[in-house]
């Protein structure tokens, strides 16, 4: 399946929307990231724009999420609250499968009357030009993004994608104390800004990194791969390994930003769902708040086209999923993969689908730039109860590259289908 292929290089980020490259945005530099109030959202190379302007002085007006939980009511006689419902309560959202958008300007959502439950933004780079410097004071990008999402009725989601600062798959920095002190300082800053904002936010921790780490660890054992961790005051008792690194994300988040909900994205190129679950338990993924699941990071048609952009050169045919679920690849197979992983991981965490492509169904393979065929939006927003039944809390859709289909180029598909989904009352959480 093409989701298992390793993602394209961070140089592909230099575009107006600077979409995530596979698992995420560009590597080091954040030059060109728009300042608050920038009307055009100009982007520079190596950074992640994610849809341009952020309303810098917007006051957060969303509803404060109530604390959920897995226990019963105060009387003790009611059925336990499902983890998905508890999470929706924490987010202040309805008890239905939520939907969201990433790499999309809120003005574009507003122009089509699209009202997502979640709005996602990337945080990339380490050191000079990285996300903390995109607005002033340092780290204000998190604050302004959260305020803007909240003002539009959405929960903010941050995809932390800092590990590509030295190049995708280059893990030489993780045992370098100088690099990792900068790295952890930015993680702490993200949590501090979330805490100061004072409302729930979703954090997606380092897509692709866990797969690359497992590929390079001795015997694929993340407890045996060195990483600088214990120098951080929140994580002083944790081992200096990749396993400790993952645990530090959770431990630091709990201490600094208790309202941050944390999720880890497994990378399935290293083994079966059960094997991957064992690796991810070692890094503390079972102690997080949700599981980040993926379908494909590219429109199928982009990889089918006779003349393909560089961001669509990887993967193995066939690329277009069978909506009848009779032949592979198909949606039920992908659902089962994550359902098996969730069971093996333990703790019954909700699933949040992320960076799902936005192309439009067609019987004709291929397409043209930003107008490639794909059927994920169509299938997932019309068969949403299938996902609700497998403990899904939400689905976040976004183009995985600058040449992919978006809400600006999909002919109104997302606006129509998301509107119809809401009109039906949504899919029940299980």
To which H or E segment does residue 293 belong?
strand 290-294
Sign for the pseudo-dihedral over CA of 106, 289, 279, 162: positive
Residue located via tokens 């030009």: 129
Structural domain boundaries in the chain? 2-55+80-423
Q: Give pLDDT tens digits for 307-364.
A: 999 999 988 999 999 999 999 999 999 999 999 999 999 999 999 999 999 999 999 9
In this structure, are strands 371-372 and 367-368 parallel, antiparallel, or unpaired? antiparallel
To which H or E segment does residue 6 belong?
none
Tokens of 266: 């497994």
Q: What is the pLDDT of residue 76?
A: 55
Q: What is the pLDDT of residue 78?
A: 75
Q: Give pLDDT tens digits for 71-109.
A: 444 445 678 899 999 999 999 999 999 999 999 999 999
Specify the CATH class of 2-55+80-423 in words.
Answer: alpha beta
Tokens of 281: 């338990």
Long-range contacts of 238-244 (CB under 8 A, 24+ apart): 240/175, 242/174, 242/213, 242/217, 242/283, 243/282, 243/283, 243/284
- What is the rounded CA–CA span in Å between residue 205 and residue 251? 13
- What is the rounded CA–CA span in Å between residue 244 and residue 108? 41
Tokens of 85: 């419902």
Of 58, 158, 85, give the one whose Cα is nearest residue 118. Answer: 158
Sign for the pseudo-dihedral over CA of 349, 354, 357, 361: positive
- What is the rounded CA–CA span in Å between residue 312 and residue 300? 9
Positions in the chain whose pLDDT score sits under 70: 1-77
Tokens of 400: 């995985």
- Cα separations (Å) of 367 from 363, 379, 381? 11, 19, 22
Query: SS in 3 state form for 97-159?
Result: CEEEEECCCHHHHHHCCCCCCEEEEEEECCCCCCHHHCCCCCCHHHHHHHHHHHHCCCEEEEE
In this structure, are strands 351-356 and 290-294 parallel, antiparallel, or unpaired? parallel
Q: What is the pLDDT of residue 79?
A: 81
In this structure, are strands 392-397 and 371-372 parallel, antiparallel, or unpaired? unpaired
Residues 6+ apart with CB under 8 A from 27: 10, 11, 46, 124, 125, 164, 165, 166, 167, 168
- For residues 348 and 297, the answer to whether their CB atoms sit within 8 Å is no
- For residues 152 and 112, the answer to whether their CB atoms sit within 8 Å is no
How many CB atoms within 10 Å of residue 171? 18
How many CB atoms within 10 Å of residue 378? 16
Q: What is the pLDDT of residue 419?
A: 98
For helices 273-282 and 331-345, angle between their N-to-C axes, nearest 10 degrees = 40
Number of helical H runs and strand E runs in the chain: 12, 10
């Amino acid at each position: 399946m093409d989701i298992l292929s390793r993602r394209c290089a961070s140089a592909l980020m230099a575009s107006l929307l600077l979409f995530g490259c596979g698992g995420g945005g560009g590597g080091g530099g954040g030059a060109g990231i728009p300042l608050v109030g920038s009307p055009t959202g100009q982007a520079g190379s190596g950074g992640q724009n994610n849809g341009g302007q952020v309303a810098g002085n917007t006051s957060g007006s969303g509803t404060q999420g109530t604390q959920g939980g897995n226990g019963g009511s105060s009387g003790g006689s009611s059925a336990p609250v499902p983890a998905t419902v508890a999470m929706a309560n924490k987010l202040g959202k309805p008890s239905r499968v939520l939907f969201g958008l990433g790499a999309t300007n809120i003005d574009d959502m507003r122009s089509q009357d699209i009202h997502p439950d979640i709005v996602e933004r990337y945080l990339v780079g380490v050191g000079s030009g990285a996300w903390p410097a995109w607005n002033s004071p340092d780290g204000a990008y998190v604050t302004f993004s959260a305020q803007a999402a909240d003002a539009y009725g959405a929960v903010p989601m941050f995809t932390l994608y800092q590990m590509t600062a030295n190049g995708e798959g280059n893990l030489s920095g993780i045992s370098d104390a100088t690099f990792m002190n900068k790295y952890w300082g930015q993680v702490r800053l993200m949590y501090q800004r979330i805490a100061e904002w004072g409302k729930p936010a979703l954090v997606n921790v380092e897509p692709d990194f866990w797969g690359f780490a497992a590929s390079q660890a001795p015997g694929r054992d993340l407890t045996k791969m060195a990483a600088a961790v214990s120098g951080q005051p929140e994580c002083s008792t944790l081992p200096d390994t990749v396993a400790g690194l993952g645990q530090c994300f959770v431990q630091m988040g709990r201490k600094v930003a208790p309202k941050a909900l944390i999720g880890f994205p497994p990378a399935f190129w290293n083994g079966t769902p059960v094997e991957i679950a064992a690796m991810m338990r070692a890094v503390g993924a079972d102690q997080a708040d949700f599981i980040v699941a993926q379908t494909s990071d590219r429109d199928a048609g982009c990889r089918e086209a006779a003349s393909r952009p560089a961001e669509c050169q990887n993967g193995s045919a066939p690329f277009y999923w069978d909506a009848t679920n009779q032949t592979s690849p198909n949606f039920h197979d992908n659902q089962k993969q994550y359902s098996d992983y969730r069971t093996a991981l333990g703790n019954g965490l909700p699933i949040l689908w992320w960076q799902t492509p936005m192309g439009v169904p067609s019987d004709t393979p291929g397409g043209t730039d930003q107008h490639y065929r794909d059927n994920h939006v169509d299938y997932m927003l019309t068969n949403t109860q299938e996902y609700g039944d497998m403990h899904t809390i939400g689905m976040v859709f976004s183009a995985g590259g600058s040449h992919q289909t978006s809400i600006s180029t999909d002919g109104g598909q997302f606006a129509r289908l998301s509107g119809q989904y809401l009109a039906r009352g949504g899919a029940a959480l299980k």
